[in-house]
A and B are shown apart, each in its own frame.
Chain A
Amino acid sequence: MGMTMSQKILAKHAGLESVREGQLIRAKLDMVLGNDITSPVAINEFNKAGFGGVFNKDKISLVMDHFTPNKDIKAATQCKQCREFAGKYDITNYYDVGDMGIEHALLPEKGLIGPGELCIGADSHTCTYGALGAFSTGVGSTDMAAGMATGEAWFKVPSAIKFNLTGKLNKYVSGKDVILHIIGMIGVDGALYQSMEFTGEGLKSLSIDDRLCIANMAIEAGAKNGIFEVDEITMAYMKERADRDFDIFKADDDAVYSRVIDIDLSTIKQTVSFPHLPENTKTVDEITEDIKIDQAVIGSCTNGRISDMRIAAEILKDKHIAKGVRCIVIPGTQKVYLQCIKEGLAEIFVNAGCVLSTPTCGPCLGGHMGILAAGERAISTTNRNFVGRMGHVDSEVYLASPAVAAASAIAGKITGIK
C-alpha cells in the first residue's frame, strides 16, 4: 500500500521501510522548539526527570516571543529561566529580544527547518513548517522535554486528506483566504488527528508566505500537520537560507487518503471568520450588516511576513484609519521589521495612524500590546477567535487577511477590497 508524504517522512525518521495509519512509532527529530510560555514547563520537567544533557545543542530552538518584551515580572521570570537553561546547555538557536521573531516566522526565515525534516514544537502552530515539505507538529511541554533529552518522540501515524489545488488566486486574495475557506468547509475538527496534504498545479501560484500561512492554520481544522509538496519555489527559498542537503518525499501514486478535496484557487474569495470559531466563515460579499470595529491587528505567526506587511501598506498608503479605530501592525521578525523601515512601509503605517510594534505574539493570545475591553471588537490577521482570546471574555475577534484587515481599519467596519 502506498504512503502519503507525511507517512514517508515518519517512516524514514523511524528507520522503517514503511508505516501504516494508526501505527505507533518512535522517530528521530531534526528540531525541537519551545517558546517563553511552554519552555518553562518543559524545563521544570527536564530538571525533575534528572536528564544529564540535551541530545543536540544545534537541534533545539528556544524563542522568546509570546510575552516579550517582557510584559510583567512573571513573564520576565519565565524568560530568565529559559535564558539560563539555554546558557547552561549552550543552545545554539536561543533567540531573545533584539534578535528574535515570532517563532514560526523566524525558523523558516533562518532556514532551520526544511524539506523532509521532522520537527516537534511546544506550540500548536508548529505545523507551519509543513509549507516547506517538513513533517512538523505541535506537542506539549512534556513531549518537548523528552525531545530535548532524547532527540525522539512518539507518534501515531496519521491518515490524510489530500487537497488538490488548481488555478490561481485573484488580486487581494491570499493564503489566509484559502485556509479560512477550507476550515469553513471542513470545520474545526474536520481533519482531527489527520494530515492535510497540499498538492496540484495550483501550487505554482502560491508563494512560500502563502503556504506558510495555510500550513500554520492546519491545527485550526484539528489536523496533526499540514504539508506542501516540494517544488522549485520551495527549493529556491531553502537555497537562500540553508546549505545542507534535503530529502524530498512525494506521495506514492497509490497512497490512500480518507478524503480528496479539489480546490480551484481562482474561485476563492476574501473570507472572514466570525466569532467564536475559525469555522464560522463568510466571504466578504456575504456580509450584509455593518460590523464596526474598535481595533485591527496585522501580524502574528500567520500573517507577520514581509508580503503581509507590503499588502497592508499598499492599502493604507496615503489613507488614514477611521476615527475610533486602533490599528496595531506587528512585523513577525526583526528582519521583517527592518525591511518595513527600509522599504518605507513603516512610514506608511505611522502616517495612516497605525502603531508599529517590535515582533511579539502579544495581542493574538490576549497577552499584551492590544488587549480588548468588554464589548470591543477586533479584526485580526491572527489564527484564533475563541471566547476571550484577545482580552475580555465579552470581546470579539474576526479573522481575516492583511488586505481585509487594512481595508477594514480604514472603513472602521469589516469590509473587503476590490
Chain B
Amino acid sequence: MKAHGTVHKYGDNVDTDVIIPARYLNTADHKELASHCMEDIDKDFVKNVKEGDIIVANMNFGCGSSREHAPIAIKASGISCVIASTFARIFYRNAINIGLAILECDEAAKDIENGNEVEVDFDTGIITNVTKGCTYKAEPFPEFIKDIINKGGLLNSLKK
C-alpha cells in the first residue's frame, strides 16, 4: 500500500477545533464535514486539496476534543496520509479505528515543506520526498494495529 501526493504543511498543536470547528458538529455527514476541514487554520485548504494529498505537521497533531469528525473530515477531503512528529492520543486511536493512515516521523515532519511531492510506502515505513530527492524512515505500526487496518478498521476487525 502506497500514498503519493502534494503536501499541506502545518505547525505544532493543530487541534481538532481547527480541523473541524464545533459549529459544524451538528452533522455526521462525511462530505459536509470535509467541506469545512481545516477552515479555521487554512481557509484555502478545501479549495486546494486534491485526492491523495498528504498532511504533514509537527508536534501533538489532533490535540483537544475526541471528535472522530476530525479524522473523518480529513479522510473525506481526500487526504491519503497524515505525517507528524507526534499525534495526540485520541486522534491517533480514532485515525486507526476509521482507517486513516497516519505515521509518526519527526525527521520527515521537520524537513518536508508545504507543496513538496511526497510518497509513502506503508509496508516499509519509507517516506520519499520526491521534490527534495531524499527519504525518511518512519516507525512501522505494531502488529495489533496493522491487523485493525488490514481488516478495514476496528469494527470490521471485531467481526468473527
Contacts and interface: CB of A to CB of B under 8 A. Distances in A.
Contacts of B25: 37, 66-67, 365, 367
A45 B155 contact: yes
A340 interface: no
A222 B89 contact: yes
Nearest to B94: A140
Contact of B63 (A75, A122, A189, A367): A189
A227 interface: no
B90 A192 contact: no
B17 interface: yes
A384 B144 CA distance: 33
Contacts of A389: 17, 22
B133 interface: no
A24 B63 CA distance: 22
Nearest to B96: A142
B158 to A, nearest CB: 6
Given A124-B66, A138-B66, A192-B86, A367 B23 contact: yes
Contacts of B64: 124, 384, 386
B15 interface: yes
Contact of A393 (B40, B63, B72, B142): B40
Interface in B74-100: 86, 88-90, 93-94, 97-98
B86 A139 contact: no
Interface residues of B, number: 40
Contacts of A193: 89
Interface in A159-203: 188-189, 192-193
Interface stretch (A54-62, A146-154, A281-289, A404-412): A146-154
Interface in B17-65: 17-18, 21-23, 25-28, 40-41, 59-60, 63-65
A224 B154 CA distance: 20
Contacts of B159: 49
A386 B89 contact: no
A18 interface: no
Contacts of B26: 37, 67, 71-72, 74-75, 78
Nearest to A75: B26
Instruction: Sort chain A's interface into a size bin.
Output: 35 or more
Contacts of A75: 26
Interface in A36-55: 37-38, 40-41, 44-45, 48-49
B4 interface: no
B158 A49 contact: yes
A386 B17 contact: yes
Contact of B144 (A24, A66, A150, A386): A24
A146 B154 contact: yes
A309 interface: no
Contact of B23 (A40, A49, A139, A366): A366
Interface in A272-313: 277
B69 interface: yes
B41 A24 contact: no
A24 B144 CA distance: 8
B15 to A, nearest CB: 5
A189 B13 contact: yes
A319 B99 CA distance: 55
B45 to A, nearest CB: 14
A149 B158 contact: yes
A111 interface: no
B142 A24 contact: yes
Contact of A387 (B28, B41, B156): B41
Contacts of B40: 387-388, 393
B68 to A, nearest CB: 4
A138 B66 CA distance: 6
B158 A146 contact: yes
Nearest to A384: B64
Given A74-B26, A188-B13, A37 B67 contact: yes
Contacts of A37: 22, 25-26, 67, 69
11 contacts: A37-B69, A45-B155, A78-B26, A140-B93, A140-B97, A192-B60, A193-B89, A222-B63, A277-B13, A384-B64, A387-B40
Given A142-B153, A143-B93, A222-B88, 8 more contacts: A49-B156, A49-B159, A122-B68, A142-B97, A150-B158, A189-B13, A192-B89, A367-B22
Interface of B: 13, 15, 17-18, 21-23, 25-28, 40-41, 59-60, 63-69, 71-72, 86, 88-90, 93-94, 97-98, 142, 144, 153-156, 158-159
